[in-house]
Structure formats: structure tokens, C-alpha cells
Amino acid sequence: MASGDWDILVWQRARSLLQQAERIQANFLKIAVGTNYRTALHGRSFVPPVNVVETDDSLWVMCAIPGVAVKDIEVRLDGPELLIAGQRPLPSCCQDGDLKLWEIPLGRFERRIAVLEGRITLSLGKVTLEDGLLVIELKKNS
């Protein structure tokens, strides 16, 4: 066998192994991501990010939850904590497709923020949802 023939065989085998590795990786991601999606919808919840701003009269809580309808959100004071909970569904356009990349969490979400401390009590004020940003006013009561 000539030296050039050997090089061709090595490169063909290397290409075959790379293709096999790509298929294994694709299958793994399909299984792993599918499992995470089912888990997110039927088990654990994700935690959306928040910002809290304090003014003289209120605490303002901003929570990023794009893709969530008002009817799917629960906001309430639960003892010393503010509870923000709800559900972000998979859009109907994507129900039948194969998941290729998973970065946006779906399913149930819950965020608890300790807001009551000292002698100040809070009451739930204005709550709005606009362009995926939930804004909650917690009024200070002396």
C-alpha cells in the first residue's frame, strides 16, 4: 500500500468518527433537553430575575417574565416574603418541532423575596405587566 493510500484511509476513518461523534452528541442533546423540558413543566420551577428599588414610600419589584400572560401570574405577600409565581408555556408554534437549542426556561416559575423587616409593614400596591416586565409596588405602612 502506498503512503498516499494510507493517508486517505486515515482521513476517511477520522471523518467517519467525527460524524459518529456528532450524531451521538445530537442524540444526547435531544434526550437531555427533552428531559429538562418535561422536568421543567412537571416538577421543579425556574427562578426569574428581579430588581428591587426602595423609595421613601414604597419598594418596587421588577421581575422579567417575557412570554407570560397576566392570567398565568400570581403575586401576593406570603408572611415576610413577596411571592411571584406562574407558568410560562411553550408557544403553540413550537409544540411539534424538534428542540435544537434550549436557553429560555419554560414551565413553572417561582420567586420569593424577603421584604418585611423591622417595624415597617408592606401592603401590595399597583401591579402591572408590560412588555414582559412585571412591576410590583409594595407600599410602606408605618
Cβ-Cβ contacts under 8 Å for 70 (sequence gap 6 or more): 129
- Structural domains counted in the chain: 2
Of 116, 117, 122, residue with least CA distance to 138? 122
Do residues 70 and 131 touch, judged by C-beta distance below 8 A?
Answer: no
Residues 130, 97, single domain; the answer is yes
pLDDT exceeds cutoff 70 at 44: no
Taken in order 28, 30, 33, 34, the sign of the CA dihedral is negative
Residues 38, 54, single domain; the answer is no
d(C-alpha 48, C-alpha 110), whole Å: 7
Which CATH number characterizes residue 57's domain?
2.60.40.790
User: What pLDDT does residue 24 have?
Assistant: 73
Torsion (CA) 71, 73, 74, 77 in degrees, nearest 10: -130
Determine if the pTM surpasses 0.85: no
User: Percentage of residues in the chain with pLDDT exceeding 90?
Assistant: 43
Residues 73, 117, single domain; the answer is yes
pLDDT exceeds cutoff 80 at 32: no
pLDDT in tens, 108-137: 999 999 887 667 788 999 999 999 999 999
Residues 75, 137, single domain; the answer is yes
Residues 38, 64, single domain; the answer is no
Question: Looking at the chain, how many residues does it have?
Answer: 142
Judged by DSSP in three states, 16 sits in helix
pLDDT exceeds cutoff 90 at 93: no
Judged by DSSP in three states, 53 sits in strand
Over residues 99-110, mean pLDDT: 82
Domain region containing 125: 50-141
